[in-house]
Amino acid sequence: MIGYERAACAAFSGRRRARRLGLAILLGLLALSGLTPAVRAQSRLDPSRVWTLAQLIEVSTEVNPVIRAARNRWYSALHSIKQNYAPADPVFSYFNVDSPKNPFIGATEHSFIVSEQFQFPGKALLQAKTARRSARIARLAYQAAVRDIRAQTESAYYQALLDGELVKVNADNVEALRRVLKVTQVAYAAGQVTQTDFISAEFDLAAAEQLQRQFEVNAQNDKTALNQLLYRRPDEPLKLSGELALKPLKVPVDRLVARATARRQEILQMALAEHNSETALELARLEYAPDYLIGYEFDSFVLPSAAPAPTFLRDHSLLVGINVPLFFWIKQDEDVRRARYDLEAARDDVGSIRSQTEAAVTTLYRNARLAYDTALLYRDSLIALARQDFEVALIAYQSGKIDFATLTQALKRSYDARVAYLQGTNQFLAGVVALEQTVGEPLAQ
């Protein structure tokens, strides 16, 4: 019996622990589901994980507060449409009439009035149409925010890769300068060169080591910029994968210009603003049309002598009114003229941004092509020549055939060639990103 009771108690305790565990899991899931999108997205950023550009774009366009604010403004604009169909709130009035002592008691008449104002038919439809276009403008602003954050993430990513590669290139340059320092030290010890060569080599090495620290700080700042776009703390670790790669632009510039003028969010926003200006002109002209006021009054006479007749103590009244544009030359005419000028300004804005977009796409395309050709030249030809020139110059200096200045110039050319290739590649990628931002969508689409 005792063994049975112990077994029963153990089973009960096990069930109780299982219930507690299940409750803890349930509470954890509820807490996780209640997290904001930013916290949920940040929880996916494992510090030990290596992140690609596509993953960074996905996270930044989800959690960045700029995008979330633009999305909420779009939602807010959507909820500003239906209310334009609703008429104004009715006004209920109560009158305590002809009180001999005070306005609260002893009245001779009680009046109840309900009045309602109505716009001229058609005004509400035009106002709702304007609100609907404003919501579409807010949606385009949200899409533009997503586009811009995507471009900023890509630019920060490529800048981080560039500075990371510059750290490696400068580290190689530091190692080469150490070789030069050893060569000059040996030559100076043998009396083949003056002390000036040795001092100059020490100076160049110290300057390159200081530059190395600067490049390392730049790389850390690039990670901070990415963390800011990802809505994370500035010093959180972030490992990146990928490399600066050259992929030629295959889309002709004329097609890019056509896509930009048809799809760029700012152009579409300006076009919708132009339509809203046309609707505003129609509304301004409708100000000449009268709005209506309808009211109903019910009178209850407490004092029979105040009534129309001693046996007629209650009556009903109907009120119908319209507004008369008596001062139209001051108000309505001016509103119509102002709306016409606003419409012309909106049309000019559309033409201006289209012209700017066409010029920007053309300029960015040319610069990107130039940067691509420059990077290709250094990668396929000049880097190898400069590296070979340095190795030959180092041997020639050891044999006394060239001076120290010639040697350092050869080393500088080798270093500058590698840096120029990286900068050309980065400029090309930055140009592609700027093209995508100006066009309004990725070029691959």
Main-chain dihedrals φ then ψ at residue 97, nearest 5 degrees: -100, 140
Distance CA 35, CA 30 (A): 9
Residue 304 covered by a domain: no
Residues 28 and 48 in one domain: no
Distance CA 105, CA 98 (A): 10
Judged on CB neighbours under 10 Å (0-12, 13-18, 19+), 308 is exposed
Residues 8 and 128 in one domain: no
Residues 22 and 154 in one domain: no
Strand 292-301 and strand 314-322: the pairing is antiparallel
∠ CA(229), CA(232), CA(237), 5° rounding?
105
In the numeric block, the tokens 């105040």 are attached to 306
Residue 232 covered by a domain: yes
Cβ pair 135, 208 in contact under 8 A: no
Residue 25 covered by a domain: yes
Residue 54 covered by a domain: yes
Residues 178 and 280 in one domain: yes
Residues 5 and 53 in one domain: no
The arithmetic mean of pLDDT across residues 276-290, rounded, is: 91
Task: Indicate whether 206 pLDDT > 80.
Answer: yes
Q: Using pLDDT thresholds of 50, 70 and 90, give the confidence band for residue 45.
A: low
Q: What is the CATH number of the domain that holds 360?
A: 1.20.1600.10
Residue 246 covered by a domain: yes
Residue 95 covered by a domain: no
In this predicted model, what pLDDT tens digit does every residue of 89-104 receive, in sequence order?
999 999 888 887 777 7
If you ran DSSP here, which 8-state letter would residue 246 be given?
-
Residue 49 covered by a domain: yes
Distance CA 87, CA 119 (A): 8
Q: Which two tokens stand for residue 190?
A: 């043998």
Task: Indicate whether 68 pLDDT > 80.
Answer: yes
Residue 305 covered by a domain: no
- Residues with Cβ < 8 Å from 120, sequence gap 6 or more? 286, 289, 290, 291, 292
Cβ pair 404, 184 in contact under 8 A: yes
Q: How many domains does the chain have?
A: 2
Residues 200 and 259 in one domain: yes
CA dihedral in degrees (146, 152, 158, 163; nearest 10)?
Answer: -150
In this predicted model, what pLDDT tens digit does every residue of 128-176 receive, in sequence order?
999 999 999 999 999 999 999 999 999 999 999 999 999 999 999 999 9
445/127: higher pLDDT: 127
Cβ pair 364, 388 in contact under 8 A: no
Residues 330 and 391 in one domain: yes
What pLDDT score was predicted for residue 398? Answer: 86
Residues 30 and 126 in one domain: no
Domain ranges, residue 216: 35-86+119-290+325-439
In this predicted model, what pLDDT tens digit does every residue of 344-388 receive, in sequence order?
999 999 999 999 999 999 999 999 999 999 999 999 999 999 999
Q: Which two tokens stand for residue 57?
A: 């774009």
Q: Residue 110's beta-bridge partner residues?
A: 96, 300
Residues 334 and 241 in one domain: yes
Residues 46 and 71 in one domain: yes
Residues 27 and 160 in one domain: no
Q: Residue 137's beta-bridge partner residues?
A: none
What pLDDT score was predicted for residue 12? Answer: 37
Nearest to 173 by CA among 395, 403, 386, 424: 386
Please report the DSSP string for 368-408 in residue order.
Answer: HHHHHHHHHHIIIIIHHHHHHHHHHHHHHHHTTSS-HHHHH
Task: Indicate whether 188 pLDDT > 70.
Answer: yes
Residues 172 and 277 in one domain: yes
